[in-house]
Amino acid sequence: MINVFRRTLYRARAAIYKFGFKLIPRRKPLLLLGVDSAKRLCASIAHLGYRRVLIVSDKPLIALGSIDPLRIELAGLGIEVFVYDGVQPDPTDIVVFGGANI
C-alpha cells in the first residue's frame, strides 16, 4: 500500500515538473555548422562581449595546430585567449583543478 502511494506521488511530481518546465522560457541554443563556423563562433563570442576565453584541448591537437586559427581569430577581435592542454581521457579531479588554475 505504501509503495503504491509512493509511486503515485512520484508520478504526480514528475507530471508537475514536466508541465512546469514548459512554462519556463528558454533561449534557443546557438548552432553553427558548415564552412567558417569556427570564425562565426569567434565573432559570436566577441558580439556577446566576452574578453577572455579558455580553450580546453589535449596536447596532440595543440601540436597539430588545430587551435591556432581560433587563437589568431580571437586575438584579432581583441579577446585574450588561454589554452589548457592537460586534458586526458577519463580526467580526474586533478586535471579539472589544473585547468581551473589557469
Tens of pLDDT, residue by residue over 26-57, are 888 888 999 989 899 999 999 999 999 999 88
How many whole angstroms separate alpha carbon 76 and alpha carbon 55?
16
Using CB atoms within 10 Å of the CB of residue 86, give its burial: 0 to 12 exposed, 13 to 18 middle, 19+ buried: middle
Here the cell at position 29 is: 541554443
State residue 1's pLDDT score. 62
Q: Which range in 10-14, 19-23, 98-102 is most confidently predicted, on average pLDDT?
A: 10-14
**Any idea which residue has 562581449 for its cell?**
49
Of 27 and 77, more confident: 77
Helix (H) or strand (E) holding 60: helix 59-64
